[in-house]
Every structure is written in C-alpha cells, then in structure tokens.
Chains A and B, each alone.
Chain A
Amino acid sequence: MIELKNVTRRFGQTVAVDHIDLTVETGEVCVLVGSSGCGKSTTLRMINRLLPASSGEILVDGEDVTGMDLQRLRLNMGYAIQGTGLFPHWSVARNIALVPRLLKWPKERIDARVTELLQMLEMDPASFADKYPQQLSGGQAQRVGVARALAADPNILLMDEPFGALDAITRENLQLEMLRLQRQLKKTTVFVTHDIDEALRLATRIAVMDQGRIVQHDTPENILRRPASDFVENLVGKQDRGLKLMALRPVRDLMTPHDKPRPAEPGADGLKEDDSLRLALSVMLWQDLRQVAVFDHQGNETGVLLRERLIEGGV
C-alpha cells in the first residue's frame, strides 16, 4: 500500500504538487492522469524519491520513505519510463538482470528469471536475450523495459508514461499485455499517463490531476458517470462518454447465455466474452446484425448478445 499524506513539491517559486492526499491499495492499479505539467510525474517520482517531497509524508506499507535507505527503497520498486531507458551497452538479458544483479542473486537464479520474464512477455529467449536495445522495435524495447521493472519481483510498480512514445497499435497491444500480467501478478501499480483512454482501460482507480492537485480520485466508471468538475468532464469527453463506458464493460455482462456451450460452426463470426460492449456495438452497426454470437476462450459458443439489450443496458 502507498499513502501520500498532504504532500507538496515546490520548484523554486512554483508549486508542482500542491498538498495532495492519495492512497493506493495493495494490488490495485492507480492511474495518475492529467495534461502535461499537472504534477503527475512529479508525484510518481516522489514515491521512489527521485525527487524529495518538499513537505508531507509518503508511506510505503506504513513506512515513511524519507527514513528508508534509498537503494533499498528503489530496489523494491519496479520502475518503467517513457523511452525505456534501457542501457544501450548491455544486452537484453543483462538489462533485465539489472536489479537481480544489484541484489546479488546467484547467476543460475538470474538466468532462470530472465528466461521466465522473456517468456512471460512473449519474447523468445533464444532470439532476444543476446540482442542489444538498439536492435529492438519500439514495442519490443518497451516490453524489455517492463520485464526489467518486474525482474526482482517487486511489490510495487511505478510506470511513467511507459507507452507514451509508441504507435497506436503497439500501444494497444502492450496495454492488453499489461492487463493480462496484472491479473496474474497483482502488483501495486502507480501508472502515469496523459491519455484518458489508457487510464480508463488500465486503472482500478484513476486520480485526475490538474495544477498540482488531485481533482477526482475514483473508479473509471464513476469518473465517467459522475465527473467531479467541468475539467474532468472535458477530459473524459462530454459527448462520447457513452461509448467510453461501454468500452469498460465486457460482453459477458450483457450476453444471453446458452444452457450449455455449443461447439462453434467452422468459420462462424462472433465476439469473445472479454471483448468490450463498445466493440460489440461497432460490429453490429457495421454488419447490421440484431444479435451476435459470443465465444469463450476455447472457441465454444456460450451465448448471444442481443442489440436491444445492448442499447438498453449498455451504459
């Protein structure tokens, strides 16, 4: 658990972070979102003390970070940033092994961990371990950045716009990957972004920041349904909130299930249970369907989604 109590950070005369309180529960993903210069990165960087707080308290699992040994504090937090910050003179494997080596793990354990992480991020260890960062694509490099942050299995993950520099398609892939990992690993995560859609997709709770203050701290659904101010309302987009809400909910929620799963007919078109309602609506509109079949991961048809239900209950 991470707690910020009345934390302020000044740069000379300007106040970057203005008396904020924020609690990040164990295992949740807290996304700090806001326009550039709102203090979200500053807030993140105060948690691992890359910037000291000017006043206030920051507690990690109940312990004040100011009193902790700096290296110990940081070694226990994964850290991934925009542009990866991978060391260009080290191979992928050595980059990932950075923190385990600092913690003086035995070599076999490090090697095993690197292999495990590469596999977890769906990169073939045999072909990637010995490559150098400049030989990777942007998406691959960012995966390695995430692997490096996870290497020593820290309880806490700090991510500062890690996908900010990637193209839209790669970014979406990595977001999905991140959701999958988070379901497995349940790290306490603080994630900074300026992209509200990224925030809505990844967050357990979102903290919207403006001019150094937290203007709303709530679940994505509540942020969309009950924005605390005009600023938040503008940020989430007044008009297309309906679609954004639909994007949060899976098809599973509204489908009409079959009594028992049926094997799919070959070549049948349909949705997966995890797909969003927004995608379902898009498919129906485009193909002019009144209903769509829904499949589970094994490819069995588990139910159908009716257009009326979607329109009535989608938002």
Chain B
Amino acid sequence: MRIWRTPVLWLAVLLALTLGMDGLEPLFRLIQPDTQSVIYQRETFLFLLGNHVLLVLISATIGTFAAVAGGIFATRPSGRDFLPLVSQIASIGQTFPPVAVLALAVPVLGFGEGPTLVALVLYGLLPVLRNTLAGLDGIDPAVTEAARGMGMSARQVLFQVEIPLAGRVILAGIRTSVTINIATAAIGSTIGARTLGDPVIAGLVNGNTAYVLQGALLIGLLALMTDSLFEALEKLWARRLAPTVSPA
C-alpha cells in the first residue's frame, strides 16, 4: 500500500488546488495587483483538468494499443520484413519536435480537440513502439526457444512469455509517452483544445501573470502526479513479476 502514497498525495494537492483556487485569490492579488480578475474564470479548472486528462488518456490508450500491436507484428515471422523500417521510424520519428507535429496537424485537420488528439496519438505512439521492440528484442532467445520447444503455441508464447517479460520496458515507454503528451496537450490549447494550457495562454496574451501561474501550477502538479503514479506501477510490476534476487 505504501507505494501508492506519493501519487495519492500529489493527487490530493492537485484536486485541492483545482477546486480551491478561488481561496487563493488574495495571494494572486499580490502578484497581479492592478487587474480586476485574478482568477481564471472562462472555464472551471475542474473542467479543464478533466478535459486535459481525457485527451491524454484517450491518446495514450489508442497509441499504446497501436504501438504494441505494431511492435508485435514487426517481430512475428510474418512481419519480420518490416522490422528494420519500423524501428527506424520509431527512432527517427522522435527527432520531430512534438510542438511541430501539433502545429502540422492544423493545416491537415483544422482546429480543436480532434487534431490535438491525432497529434498526441501519433507522437505518443513512438516511445511505446520503440520500447516494445526493445523489450521483445531483449528477451533471452533461449526462453522463447524453450517455450516453443516445450509445445506452447505461438499465441501462448506471446501472451504468457513475451509480453510479461517485455512488459516492464513497454511500461517505461508508456510513461515517457504520457509525460510528453501531458506537456503537448497543454500546448494544444493554442490550437483550440481546451486544456490546462488555456489559463497560461490567456495569461500570456493578456499580460496576466496570475492566470499563467494558475495554469502552470496545475499542469506541473498533473505531470508530477502522473509520473509518481507510473513510478508506483513500475515498482508494483517489478515486485509481481521479477522478484529481487535475495543474496545467496
């Protein structure tokens, strides 16, 4: 239970600030004394947080499934031909800056949540794809050889041996992907997605530092909460599937 303490703590702080931002009005008044409104009002912070999380969640789910499926395909006998190209795409693709990918989605797809989602899926796919390939590739060949030789079917080898063994590396890929996507979704508010980036952008446009701070704080807390959540998941995974070697 202890491993969940940090993410729960961050979540508590995040929710408290999301719901109780109004209570901090005097504080923000100090930073921005000359304006009438010091608390962002266009949308509730809760709505923005929810939308932000939803975007990242949907894109991570689609991206993870697509990337893991692609990685599995490229490492099966039937898809081996594609492996060199797929791994090249996974590494070259990550050279493209996320903000540029986001920007390029607009001429093709227009403004709003949709294009943001597409950009997030496409970009978030790459780290997962790369780690899936690395994870599957990193399995001791003797293990899969033994599995097949003992009479496991291809499906059984995949689901009972390869995926559990590659899982930790894949999870690390998802963590990278989600971290990048939380940041990119925030920038997504410049192309019309309503996320926690909204107060920051509005604040920058209107010269209202209080808005900027409110958005930035919430984005930062969301990222920290998610990161510690993944850290906990990784620990849990390690404990379940690969127990630490006790000194002999």
Q: B-contacting residues of A (Cβ < 8 Å)?
A: 48, 50, 70-77, 79, 81-89, 98-99, 102, 132, 134-135, 137, 145, 148-149, 158
Contacts and interface: CB of A to CB of B under 8 A. Distances in A.
A74 B151 contact: yes
Given A74-B150, A102-B156, A158-B149, A83 B140 contact: yes
Contacts of B243: 132, 135
Nearest to A73: B151
A74 B149 contact: yes
Contacts of A98: 150, 152
Given A132-B243, A134-B245, A135-B246, A87 B143 contact: yes
Contact of B146 (A75, A77, A86, A102): A86
A149 B248 CA distance: 26
Contacts, number: 75
Contacts of B148: 50, 74
Interface residues of B, number: 23
Given A71-B153, A102-B152, A132-B243, A87 B142 contact: no
Contacts of B144: 85
A85 B246 contact: no
B151 A75 contact: yes
Given A87-B161, A88-B165, A102 B142 contact: no
5 contacts: A81-B142, A84-B142, A86-B146, A134-B245, A145-B146
A158 B248 CA distance: 31
Interface string B132-145: 00000000101111
Per DSSP, chain B at the interface is helix
Interface of B: 140, 142-153, 156, 161, 164-165, 241-243, 245-246, 248
Contacts of A50: 145, 148-149
Contacts of A149: 150
Contacts of B146: 79, 81, 84-86, 145
A87 B241 CA distance: 11
Task: Report which residue of A71, A77, A84, A85 has the largest number of chain B beta carbons within 10 angstroms of its beta carbon.
Answer: A85
A158 B148 CA distance: 13
A98 B242 CA distance: 18
Contacts of B153: 70-71
